[in-house]
Each structure stands twice: as structure tokens, then as C-alpha cells.
């Protein structure tokens, strides 16, 4: 932070911002991670890793009722979807790391698109996005639960949503997030 403040026009500004973002991630301070990621995006609008972090953190805030975060996430997720296919492997990244990160970023943006569609009550579009996200990562609690919601809120509803409910509850319990599991149980039982 001190370097960035002292040398805001440095040729290594982007590297410094990426290191700052990584340091805050290591510490686990999501507010500072978000601040660093947004600063990085302001300096390098095509930084797909920072965009993925912003979308992930905005999704968490949106799930807690933050409408501004929801709106920002929906816009950023659409932009991220366009960026992933054009993103090229950085010189300092191995091929395996590049493939892994590309898949993760795709999953983040596709899952966020699905979440946006659920919030907009466009359940058929949400099911398309979230099914793709589920195929990429069947252990993602958020995407699995949102897929259940999309299935069960559709008219006519898709009874397969109950399977996704059970799967999401199991994933939440396995990940030791009992508050999420209990809210999922309440929703799924009510729909049943």
C-alpha cells in the first residue's frame, strides 16, 4: 500500500496492486481484497483475476441483500464472460495453472450470471446458466442451491429441483456452514 501511494505512476504499479490483493487474500480481509481488486481494475480494466474476485465478493454481498453489489455483479459477470475466451496465458503462469484458473473464472462468471437470472425471476435462463456452472463444479454450494431455486420457482416447476435442494444441503453441511443449510432446509421443505 505504501509503495502504491508513494509511486502511483510506477511501471510496476499493476504488479504491486496484484501483490497487495494477494496479501489481503492471505490475511482473509475481504473488504481490503475488494478495495485492492477495484483499484487494480481501475489501473488495468482487463485484469480478469481481479474481476473474478470482485464478482465473487459482490455475489456474497448480494446474497446478504446488498442490491448495489447485485447490480455491479451482474454487469461485471457479463463482462467477465466475454473476457475469459480472450484471456491469454501470462508468461509467469504454468499451463496447468492457466487451465485451472480459466475454469475457475468461467465458473465464477457463469454462476453469477445464473444468480442474476434467478434474482430477475428469469428461471429458464437461470437454469441454463446454473446447469453449466454445476457441470463445471458440482461441489459449489451457491450454484447448486440457486439451481434448485430456479427449478422449483419455474412454472411449471421442475421436481428435479428437490434433488438439487438435497445436494445443496449436503454440501453446506459438509462445508460446515450450518446457517446456510438450515435456511436451505426451510426453503426446500416449504416448496415440497
Mapped to the 3 state alphabet, what secondary structure does 109-145 carry? HHHHHHHHHHHCCCHHHHHHHHHHHHHHCCCCHHHHH
Q: Which of 22, 73, 28 is nearest to 52 (CA)?
A: 73
Q: Each residue of 113-135: pLDDT tens digit?
A: 999 999 999 999 999 999 999 99
pTM of the model: 0.86
| Mean pLDDT across the chain | 90
pLDDT, tens only, 80-90? 988 888 888 88
The C-alpha cell that represents 89 in the structure block:
496465458
Identify the pLDDT of residue 175: 86
Query: Model confidence over 60-98: pLDDT tens digits?
Result: 999 989 999 999 999 999 999 888 888 888 888 899 999
* Span of 93-102, 127-136, 175-184 with lowest mean pLDDT: 175-184
Asked if residue 111 has pLDDT above 80, the reply is yes
Helix (H) or strand (E) holding 106: helix 95-119
Question: Can you read off the three cell numbers belonging to residue 155?
Answer: 412454472
Amino acid at each position: 500500500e505504501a509503495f502504491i501511494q508513494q509511486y502511483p505512476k510506477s511501471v510496476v504499479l499493476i504488479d504491486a496492486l496484484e501483490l497487495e490483493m494477494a496479501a489481503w487474500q492471505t490475511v482473509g480481509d475481504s473488504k481490503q481484497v475488494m478495495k485492492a481488486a477495484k483499484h487494480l481494475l481501475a489501473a488495468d480494466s482487463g485484469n480478469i483475476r481481479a474481476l473474478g474476485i470482485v464478482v465473487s465478493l459482490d455475489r456474497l454481498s448480494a446474497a446478504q441483500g446488498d442490491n448495489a453489489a447485485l447490480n455491479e455483479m451482474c454487469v461485471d459477470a457479463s463482462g467477465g464472460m466475454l473476457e475469459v475466451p480472450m484471456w491469454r496465458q501470462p508468461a509467469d503462469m504454468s499451463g496447468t495453472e492457466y487451465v485451472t484458473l480459466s475454469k475457475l473464472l468461467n465458473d465464477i462468471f457463469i454462476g453469477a450470471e445464473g444468480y442474476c437470472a434467478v434474482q430477475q425471476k428469469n428461471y429458464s435462463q437461470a437454469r441454463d446458466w446454473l446447469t453449466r456452472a454445476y457441470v463445471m463444479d458440482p461441489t459449489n454450494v451457491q450454484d447448486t442451491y440457486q439451481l434448485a431455486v430456479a427449478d422449483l420457482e419455474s412454472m411449471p416447476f421442475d421436481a428435479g429441483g428437490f434433488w438439487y435442494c438435497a445436494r445443496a444441503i449436503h454440501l453446506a453441511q459438509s462445508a460446515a456452514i450450518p446457517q446456510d443449510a438450515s435456511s436451505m432446509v426451510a426453503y426446500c421443505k416449504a416448496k415440497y
